[in-house]
Amino acid sequence: TLSPDFYAWIFPHGETASVGVGSAHKGFSLRNAVGALRAQTGLTQCETLRKEGAPIPLRPRKRWDNGHDVVLAGDAAGVVAPASGEGIYYAMCGGRVAADAVEEFLATGKAKALATARARFMKKHGLVFRILGIMQYFWYSSDRRRERFVKMCADPDVQKLTWEAYMNKELVRAKPGAHVRIFFNDLGHLLGLAKT
């Protein structure tokens, strides 16, 4: 296992590549996991240009402002989606609401305007973050569960709803038949009744 709860990646950049692993488990050796990934993919002989890493919060922070003159956005605000690791879209949305909050703060001089950035973001995206957090916590907790999750993703209803949710950045609620089929498919996988 390269990561006990998230994923590993190799992103090509012309003649170089970014190689990495993510995990929320404390004490997990990212260095050893990256070494294993390089070994599995034949990259051990490649030159390492630099090593870097940083924690990325996978849930919006409880506060984005200091109550005086600072408001956070992007990774600093914790707007990287759990389960997928997607952050660019949410960073842009967070940046927009932070800019609006700063504009209001500058116009009124009231620091409480800065707190509206997080409130606006969570009103629009909070449910998506909660659902993805639950998915990551449960389905990414073991190799066995991850394999069951991947098998569930072969379902056309899951693929269609996932695609629509990903493209529109909101949960799809208008497909009750598909939701019922997915529920029973999930239940079968949860109970170990479905084939993997």
Instruction: Give pLDDT tens digits along the chain (196 positions).
Output: 788 777 788 999 999 999 998 887 788 888 999 999 999 999 999 999 999 887 778 789 999 999 999 999 988 999 988 887 888 899 999 999 999 999 999 999 999 999 999 999 999 999 889 988 888 888 887 778 888 888 888 888 778 877 777 777 766 665 667 667 776 777 777 667 666 5
Is the CB of residue 121 less than 8 Å from the CB of residue 93? Answer: yes
* DSSP H stretches of helix in 109-175: 116-139, 143-152, 156-168
Cα 160 to Cα 68, 123, 143, 150, 178: the distances in Å are 45, 25, 25, 15, 9
